[in-house]
Structure 1
């Protein structure tokens, strides 16, 4: 695939690589405005990614120095990673939803090793075996933090307010709050006629919320200092329906490729998660910890072939589905169990 794709109407996408990740790349979108180019996401903070971003902009006849602003769909490092470098090179503003800005601020302020402590304790509480916890504890004891991205991500200087138009000269770009993948994830509705006159209401920069061929990770919202019981999967399903009602002509996601018929894709994802919840209820005829449930769930490979870090993500996804089942009254925690187990009601 080409590094640069023109989508018409002053919109392009740049393929910015993600190191050692099966997704391969982030699609950074470039939006022409009356004050200069505005980026939707920036890509991973890594030299090869920076080179791809700068070369892509040069192919469009512009440069990082000309970037007027950066709109971030969510705080993850494959989206927000290069924002700081872009701002340093151009003086551009960076905009993000307040809920994800709070995560960036909290991460920057955390003491070294705090995340590893939290993760090890949390995994122990959901039934992870000692063999899985040992590497985390060893990394903490040895002060190894290099493998954790996003520890010094740039602090945004503008807030994306749901429902409002962003201040982009000559463009109508409206923020749609779509929590689920992160608490502050936003999609961006370009409320302009489609350049190819496709039927529908404009185009949607969907970030990771709506992808053409994969379901985004929906895990728990992680905040070591907040005991609020959240429902990320419920948030995501509600957000999907909200996006489906927009009736957009085309979706420009942050991974894979642009696509049409957003409503059909929304229906597929809603059905996928309902089937997943039904399948988990069948597993929960016997009380299981979240770790045991994750071991028995269907993934894209057998559990014994899932890498260490991906197992942490899988367990978080199992927990998010359990939270949803508990909220719906379809499962409950077994009183007195430790680590806590859950059973279908």
Structure 2
């Protein structure tokens, strides 16, 4: 059964701004998608927030302040900012969120719960204003609280990746290093961190304080981040909506933080029944959950094979990441790009766990890996065995 969609406001290039409403049948919950600014191409694209109107009012994710998005995706990466992006007002994201709430007949003050799908800044960094206006409780998974609750968590992660750059063979950025990270913005003064007063440990019905809302199920779907959360809106046996953060995207493919964990999450998602609509945090909505999961699995099989084939001769992580055709968009070899490096790294890590790859050498601090002599299909069979055995866990990430 399809879920009706009503567009309340169209998008406006390049800043987003679209508002759409989805309604479950038979008087079920109503979900409003509010699209806010986040750069496309250099970033994941406009960030979708979701307002769930049921027995309580729940806002899923917050968006990112416009000036912070400019700093993160352009200034810190030393990328030229297009004039149309530079001209966007500094409070655009906040205004888009307020406009979306107003079109839904709501205000920030009405929100009962702020649910954070995961600890990346485009999902929680406008949360302080929600809490101050509404007194809403804030929910996130335990494993992502270090990023959400620590205002310096993001810069700490970037600094650690800079230190790892030499080991993977990636060039360092041209600025002075971690001590200069804060010159583009000061997280300590921007109120970016949130106090989490409702920590999720396991799957189950949604709680707000002691009140249980069994028409909404909270599920742990790690892989894009350790503590990624999804919300299933609607009751089993009836059409349901899956709000999935960045774990499933369309048409782009999410970057896994841990490919083994992510592939296991895809298996779990494939087993969920009655999902009639999937609402991701970026990109397009889609209806066929199983089909999209299958496409993403196929994508990672292809990338594992490309990685395996590339390492017939010793390769560094950065050698693999900069191969022609490894990504849809070319990765410039002499430019710092931690997301590209991490994508190659997690594929090499899983191949190593399955006995398809081994460390050949360390030269000038750079690690080099070589493929085994096994046929790839045999190696991939072992990858599936590792993914399918929940007892197997990595003890050395890299």
Q: Same fold (TM over 0.5)?
A: yes
- Residues 1:216 and 2:254 aligned together: yes
> 1:141–1:243: structure 2 CA closer, same or farther, 3 Å change rule?
closer
Q: Deviations over 1:8-55 (max 9, x none)?
A: 1311111111156554311111111334x2111111133211110011
The answer to whether structure 1 residue 15 and structure 2 residue 35 are counterparts is yes
Among 136, 139, 142, the residue aligned to 1:95: 139
Which whole-Å CA distance do the structure 1 matches of 2:123 and 2:152 have between them?
20
Alpha-carbon distance in structure 2 between the residues aligned to 1:109 and 1:217: 22
Q: What is residue 206 of structure 2 aligned with on the other side? A: 166
Q: TM-score, normalised by structure 1?
A: 0.84
| 1:200 to partner: Cα distance | 6.5
> Which segments of structure 1 move beyond 6 Å, counting only runs of 4 or more?
147-151
Counterpart selection for 1:83 from 105, 113, 127: 127
Q: 1 CA distance for matches of 2:109 and 2:31?
A: 18
Task: Flag the 1:114–1:71 CA change in 2: closer, same or farther, 3 A.
Answer: closer
DSSP-derived class of the 2:244 partner: strand
Cα distance in 1 for partners of 2:360, 2:314 equals 7
Sort the Cα spacing of 1:272 and 1:116 in 2 relative to 1 into closer, same or farther, 3 A. Answer: closer
Q: Which residue of 2 aligns with 1:176?
A: 219
Shift of 1:148: 7.6
Q: Which moved more, 1:47-56 or 1:116-125?
A: 116-125
Contact 2:320 2:326 in 1 (8 A): no
Give, in whole Å, the separation in 2 of the partners of 1:7 and 1:303. Answer: 38
Matched, 1:190 2:233: yes
Distance 1:144 1:59, change over 3 A: same
Give, in whole Å, the separation in 1 of the partners of 2:155 and 2:303: 34
Give the corresponding residue for 2:102.
58
Aligned length: 320
Distance 1:57 1:318 in 2: 40
CA 151–280 in structure 1, closer or farther in 2 if over 3 Å, else same: farther
TM-superposition CA deviations, 1:48-87 (whole Å, max 9, x none): 1111001110111110111111111101111111111110
Distance 2:309 2:351 in 1: 12
1:25 — aligned with what?
46
Offset, 1:152 = 3.6
Aligned partner of 2:116 in structure 1 is 72
Q: What is the match of residue 4 of structure 1?
A: 19
Q: Distance in 1 between matches of 2:361 and 2:59?
A: 50
Given that residues 97 and 186 in structure 1 are in contact (C-alpha distance below 8 angstroms), is that contact kept between their aligned partners in structure 2?
Answer: yes
* Equivalent position SS for 1:256: coil
Which residue in 1 is equivalent to 2:160? 118
- The structure in which a higher percent of residues are strand is 2
Task: Confirm or deny: 8 A CA contact 1:113 1:140 kept in the other structure.
Answer: no
Counterpart in the other structure of 1:344: 371
In the superposition, the TM-score normalised over structure 2's length comes to 0.73
Cα 1:115–1:274 shift into 2, 3 Å: closer
Alignment partners' CA distance in 1, 2:109 and 2:116: 18
Unaligned segments of structure 2, at least 5 residues: 1-9, 12-17, 25-29, 67-90, 373-398
Distance in 1, matches of 2:109 and 2:176, equals: 40
Contact 1:70–1:93 at 8 Å: present in 2 too?
yes
Deviation at 1:255, TM superposition (A): 1.5
Q: Is the 8 A contact 1:113 1:145 kept in 2?
A: no
Alignment of 1:34-45 (within 5 A): 34-35=55-56, 37-45=57-65
